Chain A
Amino acid sequence: DAGVIQSPRHEVTEMGQEVTLRCKPISGHNSLFWYRQTMMRGLELLIYFNNNVPIDDSGMPEDRFSAKMPNASFSTLKIQPSEPRDSAVYFCASSFQGGGNTEAFFGQGTRLTVV
């Protein structure tokens, strides 16, 4: 398996523009997570899905952020409108929940810069 695949790897956008980050989890995994990493706040869980259903979105900063998982092999994180303070590295991770194995596999991240 190629692992968790995120695109794009880098995104530079102007303030006010819409940004969409994409994630393809590992085949067979039933949980998907979106994290944000910044120097100030470290790694923050934004939202996670189980069997394509959002379970906990308490980490989503505000209404400008939304996430979807239309099927087991694809998820998006959208920011509309984007602001400079959204600049961060966004990680997607997936895992298989069941049988006590909770190892999460991370993608390489999307580095977002909002200017």
Chain B
Amino acid sequence: AQSVTQLDSQVPVFEEAPVELRCNYSSSVSVYLFWYVQYPNQGLQLLLKYLSGSTLVKGINGFEAEFNKSQTSFHLRKPSVHISDTAEYFCAVSETGGNKLTFGTGTQLKVEL
């Protein structure tokens, strides 16, 4: 079984500042990793995913994440945030080749002027 830990429940940041949202996972098998974003009253939308290959993954809206197998981490980063990035961000994991996602508890990113 897999599990995901998002240690930060809320991250406040000023507009145009960089941000990092942390995600650590636990699994006894190889995994796929995902970041989803949820805007208020909306469903989840995929930001980016790591399946294999380069450990640095680029996604939509200027976000990127780096897979670190030794630290079992998949932190999400953006060099300069915008007000419109205010949302909840979920890290998720599945077994390689599987499609059952296990989600973290989410991190609320609040971008302030």
B73 contacts chain A at the CB level, 8 A cutoff: no
| Interface of A, helix, strand, loop or mixed by DSSP | strand
Once A102-B32, A102-B94 are accepted as A-B contacts, the answer to whether A4 and B43 lie under 8 Å apart by CB is: yes
- Contact (Cβ within 8 A) B44 A91: yes
- Residue pair A43, B97 in contact (C-beta under 8 Å): no
Please give the residue numbers on chain A whose beta carbons come within 8 Å of chain B beta carbons, in ascending order. Answer: 4, 31, 33, 42-43, 45, 48, 50, 56, 91, 93, 95, 97, 100-109
Q: Which of A50, A91, A97, A103 contacts B43 (CB 8 A)?
A: A91
Tally of contact residues, B, Cβ under 8 A: 24
Contacts of B104 in A (CB 8 A): 42
The reply to whether A42 and B99 contact each other, CB–CB distance below 8 Å, is no
Q: DSSP majority for the B interface?
A: loop
**Given A100-B51, A102-B32, A103-B49, A45:B100 Cβ within 8 A:** yes
B90 contacts which of A43, A93, A95, A100 (Cβ < 8 Å)?
A43
Q: Are B43 and A95 in contact (CB under 8 A)?
A: no
Known: A42-B106, A43-B90. A95 touches B42 (CB 8 A): no
B52 contact set on A, CB distance < 8 A:
100
19 further interface pairs, Cβ-Cβ under 8 Å (given A43-B106, A104-B46): A33-B100, A42-B104, A43-B103, A45-B102, A97-B99, A102-B32, A102-B98, A102-B101, A103-B34, A103-B49, A104-B44, A104-B99, A104-B101, A105-B46, A106-B36, A106-B44, A108-B43, A109-B42, A109-B43
